[in-house]
Chain A
């Protein structure tokens, strides 16, 4: 208001005068440079830090300077608007930094052992002084455990989603829906402990002369617990997107409901369901904690998920990271690179598939 009053005295109202004054870009940049310069002078002058502090203080000085200058030219409200805009942009930059660092380290440290030996051999008979050793057994373990888990979780999850969308009414269905959501938040270590106390310590002794047995299958069960809610949720969302007239058309032709679901609803929603399953698989492949607790973590190649210990890529990374051998870190980073590659390829493929899916548009 005060701004308007001040301007109004004796000024002819031409379009140039009505428009509010804007802070020129050059001034904006000038404040930024000045802020950084003052910060550098303060930090290096008093010797209280390095370039990181210069940047942080520079941003603070820039914000203060912007507040003062823009407050003079544009008024306090616009100045505050500018400040928040700067902060929001800064938050974005701040979030991209760690990701860039992770990707850079993964690639630069991961290529050290990216050779045939790494993918063709296991850690059997590899001592602390051996530079060889690979992750073949771990890759086998990951593929088998995730595969078995998918075989169990997908039918169960899709059927559960069918219940929620097609049959579920009333309080019970709402309870199930609520706990599916709650179940997505169960920590992976708790799923591992559950399978440990249920399968490894109580059920597996029945098949193994009374001694508990760690196995890849136990890890699959734990991964199933983690995958199930994700699959139910994504499938449920997809089934809901199937247009009602498709179902009604089928019913009008006298097709029973179960056949309608299997032959009309599911095929229509299939691309979306596959996307959800791939995301769940990607998440399960990266889980370490449950495998650590129930798979046994053998160092040799074991194709049988039901007998004897197995490892997995994530567990292999963890084991190698804790290994004292000077060759272990390189193995850990290469395994991490492999794991991230698998997970990211699955995730990106799933997202691209979702984008092509006509249903969710």
Chain B
């Protein structure tokens, strides 16, 4: 993996020396060079003249345009979301950033992002707190503990977990997982209600806890697969040196594998955070959708930007749509920052880049 970039640069020099025809201008035309800047290059009297608008230029232009399309789309997302969000925010009678209710469809629209942004961050953070230790455990198991016969199918299963659509997890969370979580919440409330996050007196179940746990299951494969790749790339020399000094396996992992993989793991966690922040349908089906800032994670309640868009879109009028688009703009900005930070970390360590899907 690590020597890909070098082999690639070899290819590129080859293509530059190739038949791009950059230097063949004037050659073979039989006319003496018009200027001293580009004298004819000897030999190839029969080389074809470079066409100004030939297939070569056309194909290159097409591929450059396709590459630029990605930038165009990202800029277009920002522009069009802003163009629809600004009129709605203008019509808002409250402060968009701090107001904590959502009534955009009334004649005097009042809405604010505060509850939604809070809920989005809260569910994502709890999901990561649950998912990251487990994901790192699985990644270590797959890269260092499991025999190859077990590691391959198990890695395959984890990848399949990533392929299951979020609506299925939402449905499962609502129809199957809610009952155990309700019992667990009741139990937590019975014995730990002195801790504020487990307080309240019900009803339990359709809560931040349920949404976060479902989210954790969905984030798990992303964090696992990237961390596994990073752990696998630990230089064998480092591992063997640690073992030769008498380390136990865990000490080898702690002193050789984990420090080497740290930037990659941080990036993996941030990518997981990006996915958790943007998750829509699973949260729309498992959260209680309540407009209320509360740290209580087991009582019915919770909301997030994306889930609110999915839930409120059906009844939205024009201002309502604008308001939802404005909240989507906030989400876009947050995820963009998180993703760019994660990618920047991955790019700093070149050897991680090729495996960072």
Interface residues of A, Cβ cutoff 8 Å to B: 48-49, 52-53, 77-78, 80-81, 84-85, 87-92, 94-96, 98-99, 101-102, 105-106, 109, 155-157, 159-160, 162-169, 173, 175-176, 178-191, 193-194, 196-198, 201-202, 225, 228-229, 232-234, 237, 240, 244, 247-248, 251, 254-262, 279, 282-283, 285-289, 292-293, 314, 317-318, 321, 329, 332-333, 336, 339-340, 343-344, 347-348, 351
Contacts and interface: CB of A to CB of B under 8 A. Distances in A.
A262 to B, nearest CB: 8
Contacts of A157: 66
B141 A251 contact: no
A332 B171 contact: yes
A323 to B, nearest CB: 12
Contacts of A279: 163
Interface in B155-186: 156-161, 163-172, 174-177, 184
Nearest to A259: B55
A157 B67 CA distance: 8
B73 A251 contact: no
B259 interface: no
Contacts, number: 301
- In this complex, the member of A91, A166, A279, A293 whose beta carbon has the largest number of chain B beta carbons within 10 angstroms is A91
Given A77-B251, A102-B172, A187-B280, A168 B11 contact: no
B165 A168 contact: no
Interface stretch (B102-110, B233-241, B292-300, B327-335): B327-335
* Chain A interface SS verdict (over half): helix
A185 B274 contact: yes
B25 to A, nearest CB: 15
A351 B73 CA distance: 29
Contacts of A340: 164-165, 168
Given A88-B137, A91-B133, A329-B175, A286 B67 contact: no
24 contacts: A49-B187, A85-B145, A85-B249, A95-B224, A102-B169, A156-B66, A163-B63, A165-B8, A167-B64, A178-B340, A179-B70, A179-B74, A184-B339, A185-B274, A244-B11, A248-B18, A251-B18, A257-B19, A282-B163, A292-B310, A336-B167, A336-B168, A336-B171, A347-B163
Interface string B66-86: 111111011011001101100
A131 to B, nearest CB: 19
Interface in B234-292: 248-251, 253, 271, 274-275, 277-281, 284-285
A158 to B, nearest CB: 8
Contacts of B357: 184, 233-234
Given A190-B335, A198-B76, A329-B175, A98 B84 contact: no
Contacts of B224: 95
A187 B332 CA distance: 7
B315 interface: no
B309 A189 contact: yes
B327 to A, nearest CB: 9
B62 A159 contact: yes
Interface in B76-133: 76-77, 80-81, 83-84, 133
B354 interface: yes
Nearest to A251: B18
A288 B80 contact: no
* Chain B interface SS verdict (over half): helix
Nearest to A241: B4
B305 to A, nearest CB: 8
Given A240-B8, A289-B310, A333 B171 contact: yes
B157 A96 contact: yes
A197 B84 contact: yes
Contact of B138 (A80, A92, A317): A92
B41 to A, nearest CB: 15
Contacts of A190: 77, 81, 278, 328, 331-332, 335
A157 B267 CA distance: 25
B232 interface: no
A259 B56 CA distance: 8
Given A198-B76, A340-B165, A347-B163, A187 B191 contact: no
B326 to A, nearest CB: 10
A318 B307 CA distance: 12
A286 B70 CA distance: 22
A89 B309 contact: no
Contacts of B160: 99, 344, 347-348
A244 B159 contact: no
Given A185-B275, A189-B328, A321 B64 contact: no
A169 B332 contact: no
B145 A256 contact: no
B19 A194 contact: no
Contacts of A81: 248-251
A321 B67 contact: no
Given A88-B140, A234-B357, 7 more contacts: A163-B67, A179-B71, A187-B274, A196-B321, A240-B8, A251-B17, A257-B20
A138 to B, nearest CB: 12
